[in-house]
Structure 1
């Protein structure tokens, strides 16, 4: 099975794993999230009452660029970088405005247009996000589920922190019982009482300010990082199994390091009994000593005899295949010997 670390290296984040960012336009607070690629983008905007979504890809994207900025000549990647930075890190000359439209021409909440005016290489640059109302499933996947996950995780962390503080109090009490005193009186702390702490938090001015802000600070830098980590873990848990996950057996890091050091090979690693398709023959058979029921392992020379005529094989491919087969055979023999030793010492 593919490990989570390996999966994270290959996984391409979707819009759901991109964190929200708070922005204020014309005195109204919005949450916005987006995902940019080399030739497309997705954006989701909400005022916590309505949700709007837009996805724009290559051809439609180029048309809008030409319509809004006919005098600017730049690569699509450069323009997308400009659009993203204007939202994520707006500069002084960047201005934002919001308008609403409907298919009937009347102003309502059916469509939202977020207009950005900025500077690209000293020239005026304009961009309009034109987003339609998002469906309820998108709202759930991008806000409700992530927020519930964040609340659960923060609650779990608070309980763990309470345990840490209580254990610290026990440690301090042990020191005091041995006559140890603090060097400065003002750094001495009272014993932690969870109920008293919770009541103090509820009566504090910061609690009132937090309620007034209605969670506008939930997606500060720390909140964005927590959101990203939760949704990445959520994607890992709900990933779709693939044939590669079911069949591909990977070497552990220690064995790979040993083999690479002995052989001095810098070639790619392959799972047990799996060779690159470009160099495998009609069959790839396991070594005879490890799996007696399979047919004997074929040498590179005998495998070459099965290569169709008219398809020349370079010497480098022979050498590469031979090295890989030797490495696989040694690894299998090593695992086999380890299993035999375990059986001998078993009681």
Structure 2
């Protein structure tokens, strides 16, 4: 399974992950979110009572461009970039208007942008139809509840940090430390007093009067984006990419490990055993040599080996002999220093 960082690099955000942007048109306040690509866009507009939605694909967009701006010839990506910029930052000469029209059971909202493109007048209409009821929940209610919960959690974390800082300052003062300037000294933090002060503060009155219109300032938009991105991660479904990544990881872990390479159990020569180690109770005796190095003592084994000799077996024989010589040298060192703690060989 891919990590969250890898998933974020591949993930393509949808409209749900795009934060709301406040718009004030004709004295009325709206919220709008958009998702632009190189050849299409998706937009959601609300006055917090009703929601209007539009998806515009490339072919339909070309027709609308030709109808509204017949004298302008520009690539669709250039037009989209201009429309997006007009919404994000209203410049001099750019005006926004909203008109509502009821067609049967559908109420349409037409958001018009008048601006200039390359020195020429440019007009664009977002023609939005009534959005599905579920969009209000998925794009506003649930994300806003998640933002409140996350801000509450962060407030508790900050309170814990402040309490810890007060303990640290108290410890410094008990050792004679003092502030260099009297006006920067703070009182001990009390959570109950803090909450009561917030309720009676002027800032609280201003926030209530604005009814959350500042909820989607720069910080609010960033928090909304973080929450919706995390929501997409925790509610994701296993994809083919995740499965393939998992298979790739398994292959990379198993690379070079298989029947073609001997395990550690097979790497230990059969001649190494309890019987091949020297008698540690008699240090004056020389280490017992292996049968491979003593053909006179075990002619049968040598003959058998020479009869079946191959380059691979010769290499294995040399490796085993080198390992045995190293073990014999280690045993000899141990016999010279019997007082030191004996170390075990790890294979």
1:142 is matched with which residue: 139, 143, 160? Answer: 139
Tell me which residue corresponds to 1:67.
67
Map 1:25-36 onto structure 2 (within 5 A).
25-36=25-36
**Structure 2 residue runs without a partner (length 5+):** 264-344
Deviation, structure 1 residue 247:
4.8
Tell me which residue corresponds to 2:181.
184
Deviation, structure 1 residue 245:
1.9
Relative distance call for 1:169 and 1:71 in structure 2 (3 A) is same
CA distance in 2, matches of 1:78, 1:110: 30
Deviation, structure 1 residue 287:
3.9
Deviation, structure 1 residue 92:
1.2
**What CA RMSD, in Å, does the superposition of the two structures yield over aligned residues?**
2.3
Deviation, structure 1 residue 75:
0.4
Tell me which residue corresponds to 1:205.
202
Deviation, structure 1 residue 143:
0.7
CA distance in 2, matches of 1:239, 1:249: 16
Tell me which residue corresponds to 1:130.
127
Please tell me whether the aligned partners of residues 112 and 131 of structure 1 are also in contact (alpha carbons under 8 angstroms): yes
Q: Deviation per CA, 1:71-122, whole angstroms, max 9, x where unpaired?
A: 0010000000011111011111110011001225xxx981111010011000
Q: Which runs of 4+ in 1 moved over 6 A?
A: none
Tell me which residue corresponds to 1:225.
222
With structure 1 as the length reference, what TM-score do the two structures score? 0.72
Residue 172 in 1 paired to residue 143 in 2? no
Residue 239 in 1 paired to residue 236 in 2? yes
CA distance in 2, matches of 1:120, 1:77: 13
SS in structure 1 opposite 2:187? coil
Number of corresponding residues: 264
Please tell me whether the aligned partners of residues 50 and 109 of structure 1 are also in contact (alpha carbons under 8 angstroms): no
Tell me which residue corresponds to 1:5.
5
Tell me which residue corresponds to 1:156.
153
CA distance in 2, matches of 1:93, 1:137: 37
**Structure 1 residue runs without a partner (length 5+):** 251-269, 275-283, 293-343
Deviation, structure 1 residue 190:
0.6
2:114 is matched with which residue: 117, 133, 141? Answer: 117
Please tell me whether the aligned partners of residues 100 and 109 of structure 1 are also in contact (alpha carbons under 8 angstroms): no
Tell me which residue corresponds to 2:259.
288
SS in structure 2 opposite 1:110? strand
Deviation, structure 1 residue 246:
3.3
